[in-house]
Copies of this chain bind each other. A is one copy, B any other.
Amino acid sequence: MMNNIESFAGQDILSVSQFDRASLNAIFGVAHDMRVLVERFGSAELLQGKILANLFYEPSTRTSSSFTAAMQRLGGQVISINNVQYSSVSKGESLPDTIRTLECYADVIVIRHPEVGAAATAAQYAEKPVINAGDGVGEHPTQALLDLFTVQEELKQMNGLTVVMVGDLRFGRTVHSLTKLLLKYSVSFVFVSPELLRLPADILEAVEACGHSYRQVEDLHTVIGEADVLYMTRVQRERFTDPAEYDRVKDFFVIDQELMEQAKERMIVMHPLPRVGEISYAMDDDPRAAYFRQMRNGMYIRMALLAALLGKV
């Protein structure tokens, strides 16, 4: 467990379960400083001469670009390895050998891989720090950190908030990870989803075990007025076996300006992006729409992590 910022040096970032409130505070403090640094100066030379290997076994322009920019804004350089030919049965090189090769060249490795546990395997073989940038249905810890950091930066507090999570709560990896992190604070939850796409039992049990207040509802319209944080995700038609059922519920999870009139004046709308219709474009100019600031926060969090893992804060 990392509990102050110095203790991040040389560590791997594999899971949100590595973080407690002390380490979250520590990394958010650095991330905030990174934001100030970028807003005032654009960049720094903290990681000059350092190299990040960006190893993507599946494409993710957004995450890959965010890590690249984070490294570059600190003066470091990036080796991009995209669209790695991957097949567990092919005659290709094993993940451990790829990792050991890359750490001959780089100082820190970011890995995205379709298989759960791949990042942990990479970290086991690497002597250099490894950051999990998504391992299939497993974890994507920097996404959860940037989500929580956004709440902190926007609302200046975590305790006492009502967090409304909306959409596909069953398969939504970002919802699961953010919920786990929020359990460390005193928040109330409202989970809004079709019955089919409710939060998995184990996450719900963790919420209950922490004694947090929560409700599960099916229609956003009835609860939007309570939200301090409205966390939207996409509901995919493909999840439904019965198209009629999809058509019945699909508007329950969409926001527009009219619905936002019922929301508090001081609250934020978040979305991990990409969105596909669940937030209308007209919403973008609403000051409560935080999803692009959230995107920028991703760069600040990754700057903070890169600097901390390389012992430069």
Contacts and interface: CB of A to CB of B under 8 A. Distances in A.
A296 interface: yes
Indicate the member of A48, A66, A105 with the most B CB atoms within 10 Å. Answer: A105
B292 A65 contact: no
B274 A92 contact: yes
A49 B73 contact: yes
B65 A72 contact: no
What is the oligomeric copy number?
3
A51 B73 contact: yes
B81 A77 contact: no
Interface string A164-187: 000000000000000000000000
A101 B281 contact: no
Contacts of A107: 42
A65 B50 contact: no
A241 interface: no
B73 A79 contact: no
Given A42-B50, A42-B107, A65 B102 contact: yes
A69 B298 CA distance: 26
Contacts of A1: none
Interface string A278-309: 00010000000000100110110000000000
The 3 closest A-B pairs by CB, nearest first: A43-B49, A69-B105, A93-B274
Interface in A69-125: 69, 72-73, 75, 77, 79-81, 84-85, 91-93, 96-98, 100-102, 104-107
18 contacts: A41-B49, A49-B73, A49-B75, A51-B73, A59-B85, A65-B79, A65-B81, A65-B101, A68-B79, A80-B80, A93-B275, A97-B275, A100-B292, A100-B295, A101-B273, A101-B292, A104-B299, A105-B299
